[in-house]
Structure 1
């Protein structure tokens, strides 16, 4: 008397259901693990506290860009140092003074253009706060 598992026997049906349930559980655990390990976190490494951000407190300006949202304009420079790269938010005056290849942090002078940039940024921030 040999025992065979087939769909028609009760024990065969239970074995097949057990295997399918096991596969579903394993796939669910893999998905949960991937999400828990941070697959949804930013890959850029530019958030404050990251190694890249800390290593680029000084370095050379590699680029710059402006990001606008409902709270106003935000000015950023991309800084590179020893192979690390991160974006740093700066003031309008620093943004305007930043040149690709120049040193970061940006050193501002007391010129009239810097003062007018600071006044313009304060005006932009006040306008954004009103809306």
Structure 2
């Protein structure tokens, strides 16, 4: 674990990945990731990876009833994302010695716990950074 300059902010001095689940309808998802990365960097973190999971991007080409209604829902109640995407992020976190993952999306306490165990690092949502002002 890296040495932090300020103990009251776990992002200060940390290598961080930013992650987001976005509906295929959402066009400004890159802007939202940029904004989250800027918040992380303002708090002393270094963004070392960005991961996007799109929901419904391929469903529009299939004739599956109710596909549009599912576009804003998580893929998994436990991890928010698909197993493959979580595995991809976990591999990168281990190889890059990542200290924290910050999700654009709101996370439940269960999702936060499960993701922290799989990714091997502290997990935050973007709302944690704004609301708690450094305590996460």
* TM tier, smaller: under 0.3
> Structure 1 length normalisation: TM-score?
0.23
Rg comparison, structure with higher value: 1
- TM score, norm. by length of structure 2: 0.22
Structure with the larger RCO, 1 or 2 (CA within 8 Å, 6+ apart): 2
